Amino acid sequence: MPATVEWFTRSTRGYCATRSPHGKETMTATTRLITLAEFLQLPETQPASEFIDGQISQKPMPQGKHSTLQIRLAETINDVGFPQKIAYAFPELRCTFGGRSIVPDIAVFKWERIPFDADGEVANTFELAPDWTIEILSPDQSQTRVTDNIVFCLKHQTRLGWLIDPDEKAVICFQPNQLPDVLRQPEDSLPVPDFLDLRLSVGQVFSWLKLGQRF
């Protein structure tokens, strides 16, 4: 689907987060027509906003459990993926593809799929789906919307999706052409991409919430 296709907001629940001249973030309900191209011209918001089916929605403000899992998991992935340039985990990276512009909590890319500028620096614009998308549920966040984004990734080039539910101490794992797995026993082994030499169990991931030893 071309990036410039016009989408209509289909619901009055669409919100447009904008920054006023005084720097204060305001949320205004919108039913106006907006294109992906127009969305990408808007200033970034904090937390990030996503463009999905013509609607703009802002991610929730990360809280303690979310932040803890996000940084710890990204570090863990980069500890095994970075030294040999196998893969890299980017927290809060905007990925624009298939008509959506989304910001997974962690987007993991195999090294050869990371776009670099001519000068060898990581590009600013990622117009591709991650190899592994990781979302961490926040209180009051719509799990249906998060699920929708993960399934959307999997229908593109993503091979693995995790939906981490800190309240339930469960991880729902999505892989192409199969039912999701709901893993919630501490000893359950979590699937990781085969390009990473990484073993993680459900219990290990949620033990990070206690901020114990790094390893």
Strands 132-136 and 160-165: what pairing? parallel
d(CA 203, CA 170): 9
Binding residues with its own copies: total (CB under 8 A): 31
Is residue 117 involved in binding its own copies (CB under 8 A)? no
Select from 6, 25, 127, 168 the one that contacts its own copies (CB under 8 A): 168
d(CA 150, CA 166): 17
- DSSP-derived secondary structure for 54-94: TEEEEPPPP-HHHHHHHHHHHHHHHHHHTTTTSEEEEET--
Smallest gap from Cβ 59 to its own copies, in A, equals: 16
Select from 60, 91, 180, 193 the one that contacts its own copies (CB under 8 A): 180
Subset of residues 51 to 90 that bind its own copies, contact rule: CB under 8 A: 53
d(CA 95, CA 116): 15
Smallest gap from Cβ 214 to its own copies, in A, equals: 26
Contact (CB, 8 A) for 188 and 199: no
Select from 179, 212, 213, 215 the one that contacts its own copies (CB under 8 A): 179
Tokens standing for 106?
């962690």
**In the complex with its own copies, which residue's Cβ is closer, 19 or 145?**
145
**In the complex with its own copies, which residue's Cβ is closer, 8 or 82?**
8
Interface region with its own copies, contact rule CB under 8 A, candidates 62-70, 104-112, 125-133, 162-170: 162-170
Subset of residues 5 to 44 that bind its own copies, contact rule: CB under 8 A: 10-11
Select from 41, 124, 178, 213 the one that contacts its own copies (CB under 8 A): 178
Residues that bind its own copies (CB under 8 A): 10-11, 53, 137, 142-145, 147-148, 151, 154-155, 163, 165, 167-170, 172, 174, 176-182, 184-186
